[in-house]
Amino acid sequence: AEGGCDDPSPGGTRGGVIRRVVIVGGGTAGWMAAAALARGLGTTHAITLIESASIGTVGVGEATVPPIRDFNRYLRIDEDEFVRATSGSFKLGIEFVGWNGEGSRYFHPFGFLGPDMAGADFHHVWLRHLAEGGDPDIARINPETAAAREGRFARDTRHGPLHHAFHFDAARYATFLRGYAEARGVARIEGEVTAVERDGESGDIAAVRLASGAAVAGDLFVDCSGFRGLLIEGALETGYVDWTCWLPCDRAVALPTARIADPAPFTRSTAREAGWQWRIPLQHRTGNGYVYCSSFLGDDEAASLLAARVDGEPLAEPNRLRFTAGHRRLFWNRNCVAIGLAGGFLEPLESTSIHLIQTAIIRLLALFPGDHVDPRLAERFNREAQAEYEGVRDFVVAHYAVASGIDTPFWRAIGEAPLPESLAERIAVFRATGTVLYERGDLFGPTNWYAILTGQGCAASAYHPLVGALDGKLVRDRIAALEARCAQMIAGLPGHADFIAAHCGA
């Protein structure tokens, strides 16, 4: 039986040399994987990508987090060229509106509030500043918040860089990466995969068969086929870990609209009666969508509520999507690695899916098999991917867990839902001590947790004793120095639209 002493899966034991990599799917995940594999292995491995225009892509996924800049650096992509090609804009964080009651708003910035002090994370210094009656506005010390509020942007200032990510047009991003990958030898096949052939002896995937009748054989398969998980689930029946109990939103409707103002350098998330609405400003249009829970809102109602709440003329019919929060029981099963929506899904509240694609690809490269798929590589991949998913899940659930939201049945239900144990512990420790429990290497660190927990109304009742032991003047001087630096960084910054026009206008 699978998982028993005699069975080495996940990973399989097929002999031979891993030379032919077949990627099924040409959405964001497929082309990101193709580009990175071409960059790392293009000269030694045959990389093929199969995509189907008639099936199409999910058509959403346009806001990112700062580590995407590392991915661009790995590919040696010029940032201006990338923003121009994708009609992108710059993102300094997320503005949350209405999550803490009608009229409330706060900003979750990229970057940091300040450097550690006395060995304690900086937010403890800020907590002491607040406890002593200081101004609570983080825009005084955080340049990303201050710049976002004023609609300004520059990559670098004379006093340091602004931490940023991007908004981009997902279709143009795939086209851009396709050009990159094909130029580095990736073979693209247009066609629909209709069957998956398994090796009779090992059970590994041997080939995929297309509607045309052609078979595409491979040694390693990367399943980027989207929610359907054609290989990882359709063929290998890997199973799914369902997190609906913690993240009950299971539908979204997306509606792009014409641009009516300069793009803001941030994503906006607005709490709504049965979920939340996103706004993602691009150069040529604005992305909008409503993520909601189908037990509390009908699809037609969601679409008409969204249409009534967007600015600008709709540019397309509403795009309706269904999903289940969670992930495959194994991301890497036998000789198949599932990346992107084929691997799992967490609602885009913190724009993490493309990041999870990126880390999966980098992890695959780091653990790339040599002459056979060693199950220990797969086990390692799965352990790391699962821990990463759980970390992001806790951060996303935290938004709902402490928000007062809106007085509707959805928000009452979510307010009463149990929390993952790991998250319940984090919140309790933060409330009691101000300390954020996190693992080194987590995507979201103390600044992020502080911003979200306090922004959503969860107050810490103490700060770190090491900061309590500091001389009061030292603390005040540190805050004053950060305020001065922040003011210097903001002074003279160009408007976001002006920066785009000067450097990377599409």
> Is 321 an interacting residue with respect to ligand FAD (CB under 6 A)?
yes
Which stretch, 25-33, 156-164, 257-265, 427-435, contacts ligand FAD (CB under 6 A)?
Answer: 25-33
Smallest distance from ligand FAD to CB 190, Å: 9
Between 21 and 50, CB nearer to ligand FAD:
50
207: contact with ligand FAD by CB under 6 A: no
Smaller CB distance to ligand FAD: residue 51 or 144? 51
DSSP secondary-structure letter at 499? H
Query: What's the Cα-to-Cα distance from 220 to each of 8, 208, 212, 274, 339, rounded to whole Å?
Result: 17, 12, 22, 42, 13
How many of the chain's residues bind ligand FAD (CB under 6 A)?
A: 41
Looking at the Cβ atoms of 226 and 265, the one nearer to ligand FAD is: 226
Q: Interface with ligand FAD includes 276 (CB under 6 A)?
A: no
- Contact with ligand FAD (CB under 6 A) among 41, 63, 222, 403: 63
Question: Measured from the CB atom, is 56 or 179 closer to ligand FAD?
Answer: 56
Residues in region 162-201 near ligand FAD by CB under 6 A: 170, 192-193
Does residue 29 touch ligand FAD according to CB under 6 A? yes
Instruction: Give the span between the Cα atoms of 269 and 99, in whole angstroms.
Output: 9
> Is beta strand 46-51 parallel, antiparallel or unpaired with respect to 20-24?
parallel
Residues in the chain: 506
Instruction: State yes or no: residue 323 binds ligand FAD (CB under 6 A).
Output: yes
Given the rule CB under 6 A, which of 345-353, 366-374, 440-448, 492-500 is the region that contacts ligand FAD?
345-353
Which of 28, 86, 286, 447 is close enough to bind ligand FAD by CB under 6 A?
28
228 near ligand FAD (CB under 6 A): yes
Placement of tokens 């690809």 in the chain: 361
Q: Which of 14, 91, 128, 363 is catalytic?
A: 91
Distance separating alpha carbons of residues 365 and 372, to the nearest angstrom: 15
Q: Decide whether 320 or 376 has the Cβ nearer to ligand FAD.
A: 320
Of 89 and 353, CB closest to ligand FAD: 353
Q: Is 171 within 8 Å of 30 (Cβ atoms)? A: no
Q: Please spell the DSSP secondary structure of 232-260, one letter per residue.
A: IIIIT---EEE-TTT----EEEE--EE--
Choices 48-56, 69-77, 81-89, 449-457; region in contact with ligand FAD by CB under 6 A? 48-56
Nearest to 138 by CA among 184, 107, 104: 107
The yes or no reply on residue 249 touching ligand FAD (CB under 6 A) is no
Question: Which residues pair with residue 258 across a beta bridge?
Answer: 285
Q: How far is the CB of 31 from ligand FAD (least distance, A)?
A: 8
Q: Residue 288 carries which side chain, given as an amino acid letter?
A: N
Q: Which of 139, 232, 236, 252 touches ligand FAD by CB under 6 A?
A: 252
Helices assigned H by DSSP within 316-374: 353-366
Q: Which of 9, 10, 42, 52 binds ligand FAD (CB under 6 A)?
A: 52
User: Do residues 21 and 219 touch, judged by C-beta distance below 8 A?
Assistant: yes
Judge contact between 248 and 238, C-beta under 8 A: no
Q: Does 268 bind ligand FAD (CB under 6 A)?
A: no
Q: Which two tokens stand for residue 436?
A: 């954020």
405 binds ligand FAD (CB under 6 A): no
Cis peptide before 10 (omega within 30 of 0): yes
By CB under 6 A, is residue 353 in contact with ligand FAD?
yes
102-141: which residues touch ligand FAD (CB under 6 A)?
none
**Six token digits for residue 380:** 């390692």
Binding of ligand FAD by 479 (CB under 6 A):
no
Alpha carbons within 13 angstroms on the beta-carbon side of residue 466 total 11
Q: Identify whether the C-beta of residue 501 lies closer than 8 Å to the C-beta of residue 171.
A: no
Q: Which of the 8 DSSP states describes residue 428?
A: H
Is 340 a residue that touches ligand FAD (CB under 6 A)? yes
- Six-digit token string for 49: 């990508």
Residues forming beta bridges with residue 160, ordered by sequence position: 157
Q: Is 358 in the site for ligand FAD (CB under 6 A)?
A: no
Q: Which is nearer to ligand FAD, 79 or 379 (CB)?
A: 79
Region of 275 (left: φ > 0; alpha: ψ -120 to 50; beta: rest) is left
What are the beta bridge partners of residue 288? 279
Would you say 89 or 454 has its CB closer to ligand FAD? Answer: 89
Torsion of CA 11, 15, 20, 23, to 10 degrees: -20
When asked if residue 209 is in the footprint of ligand FAD (CB under 6 A), the reply is no
Mark whether 473 is an active-site residue. Answer: no
| 359 touches ligand FAD by CB under 6 A | no
Contact of 117 with 125, CB cutoff 8 Å:
yes
What are the residue numbers of the active site? 91
Interacting residues toward ligand FAD by CB under 6 A: 24-30, 50-52, 55-58, 60-64, 170, 192-193, 224-226, 228, 230, 252, 254, 289, 321, 323, 340-342, 348, 351-354, 357
